[in-house]
Amino acid sequence: MALEEYRRKRDFKKTPEPAPGRVWAHAKKLSYLIQKHDATRLHYDFRLELDGVLLSWAVTRGPSLNPADKRLAVRTEDHPLAYGSFEGTIPKGEYGGGTVMLWDRGWWEPVGDPHEGLAKGHLSMILHGERLKGKWELVRMKGEGKRENWLLIKGRDEYAESGELPGEDAVSVKSGRSMEEIAGGRK
């Protein structure tokens, strides 16, 4: 996907989201992040840097550290790299209106060629985040429809657990603020 769809869905005179601009790709490490997004429904936006953009999936229930859990991850439009540090409130009535928190960040290393993995529908990676670490997989589901559905699955490694992530009360890795503090504009 290209940034045209990202640009088409937003009015940058009304939203504080970053407009696509100059690409500042990282030389050695590919960035990774998750933004907790309280829009129409609370979800987590899983983003991976590749080829100068952030590939994006909306994970409806958030990631799970339990390898037995397979979390629905709906592919969305690519986002500009500048979106990787975005935190704030998108105005109601705008695409994605609601509060956005930077929930996790770090870098990722593809296992194998990431372009081939995307094309085949099986992208394996190792995450080096502040909250998520270790082996993860994105697996595209078969089926037709207007949405491209994938599954986000934790790999079996020393970071796997049987319990859920602490997500509801977690604060931002960027600002240390809660969702309520971000929504209220508290610095």
Q: Which pLDDT value is given to residue 98?
A: 94
Distance from C-alpha of 38 to C-alpha of 27, rounded to nearest angstrom: 32
- Predicted TM-score (pTM) of this structure: 0.85
Position of tokens 């929504």?
183
At 27 the pLDDT is 59
CA 38 to chain centre: 13
In whole angstroms, give the CA distance from residue 147 to residue 75: 7
Neighbours of 23 (CB within 10 A): 12
Whole-angstrom distance, CA of residue 87 vs CA of residue 83: 9
Least confident stretch, 68-72, 80-84, 178-182, 183-187: 183-187
pLDDT at residue number 15: 74
pLDDT at 26: 54
In this model, does residue 3 exceed pLDDT 70?
no
pLDDT in tens, 36-78: 999 989 999 999 999 989 999 999 989 999 999 999 999 999 9
Residue 8 has a pLDDT of 67
pLDDT: is 164 or 157 the higher one? 157
What is the band of 137 on the pLDDT scale with cuts at 50, 70, 90? Answer: very high
